[in-house]
Amino acid sequence: MLKIFDFDGTVALTFEPSPNNVGVTEAYRRSVADVFGNTTFDAYERQGGLRNRSPSELVIDLFEEVGERLIERAQSWLSANDQQPLRDKLDWSTGNGLAAASEVLVQRKLDLLVAEVGQPMGNGEYWPRCAPGFPEFWRRISNCPNTRTLILSSGHTAFIGKFFALHGLSQPDAVFTDDDVRHMPTPVYKPDPRLLYMALARLVSVARYESSDWQDMVLFGDDPVKDGGLAEAADIPFFQFVPPDANSADDDRAFTDWRQAIPLLDQRLVSYINSQRTVKGEST
């Protein structure tokens, strides 16, 4: 079985502020203001803030409102902050400006967030904390035969690796993030199911996952629109983790502690498999 996980707000409580009051939401606020300036930051606020958008998606939306000044401001910030290695690899030529601006935004955001990894939060916990019950769930499925794990996230591969190492958890079999799609001429983001197909190709290459097993999948996420929409488009079961600071979901596929997901997963998978057999005209 392949278990697919969103990361931010599902596996890790990265929206929760660190001891220095820096979480994903605050890091984006600061990064948009720093890199793109006050005019673009005002547009960001008018659009409702992050709204669980990937970096590429966010930059495209902001560009549609503020235009070329977004790209010009990102270039100015890069020059003023002496980011030579990043400057050397970026292409600001016609048609590439948005991709370059996205890279600058991501680097600024990661500079803020990576510095917070491992900050003590008291009670023996460190930022970012695991979602409730996740370590127990992860260790249990890691010991299951014929089980593979895939992180499918709009976050960043290096940060995700640091999280698993921080908490002494085995690394996922494969990770597919915004880092893998930002360079594309037309970036792809959730709930587009093409993300899943590209991630599966990655899994085949790094974990020898057999393509014949692709129908035996389940997706976990915290966003019923982004994650749930992707699962629906790909026709696979979806289970929603409800973070501690979110409104509870009135759904028998939702859970607030990963330890609840084990029996829930068993029950729902049986129901899903039976429903698929019914649709295909098979006996159950």
CB-based contact 133:259 (threshold 8 Å): yes
Least confident of 129-133, 161-165, 234-238, 252-256: 252-256
Cβ(206)–Cβ(173) below 8 Å: yes
3-state secondary structure the chain: CEEEECCECCCECCCCCCCCCCCHHHHHHHHHHHHHHHHHHHHHHHCCCCCCCCHHHHHHHHHHHHCCHHHHHHHHHHHHCCCHHHHHHCCCCCCCHHHHHHHHHHHHHHHHHHCCCCCEEECCEECCCECCCHHHHHHHHHCCCCCEEEEECCCCHHHHHHHHHHCCCCCCCEEECHHHCCCCCCCCCCCCCHHHHHHHHHHHHHHCCCHHHCCCEEEEECCCCHHHHHHHHHCCCEEEECCCCCCCCCCCCEECCHHHHHHHHHHHHHHHHHHHHHHCCCCC
Q: Which domains does the chain show, CATH number per domain? A: 2-14+127-279 (3.40.50.1000), 24-114 (no CATH)
| Average per-residue pLDDT for the chain | 89
pLDDT 10s digits, 59-105: 999 999 999 999 999 999 998 986 667 777 888 988 899 999 999 99
pLDDT at 266 over 80: no
What is the model's pTM?
0.89
How far from chain centre, in Å, is Cα 6? 5
Task: Enumerate residues 6+ apart whose C-beta is below 8 A from 207.
Answer: 148, 173, 174
Distance CA 77, CA 80 (A): 5
219 closest CA partner among 265, 181, 267: 265
Q: How confident is the model at residue 6 (pLDDT cuts 50, 70, 90)?
A: very high
| Per-residue pLDDT at 283 exceeds 50 | no
Backbone dihedral angles phi then psi of residue 63, each to the nearest 5 degrees: -60, -40
Q: CA 54, CA 189: separation in Å to the nearest integer?
A: 7
**Residue 84 Cα to chain centre, angstroms:** 28
Within its chain, how far is the Cα of 102 from the centroid?
Answer: 16
List the single range of 49-53, 162-166, 189-193, 207-211 with lowest mean pLDDT: 207-211
Q: Quick one: pLDDT at residue 158?
A: 95
Q: What's the Rg (C-alpha) of the chain?
A: 20
Higher pLDDT, 94 or 151: 151
Place of tokens 């360079």: 183
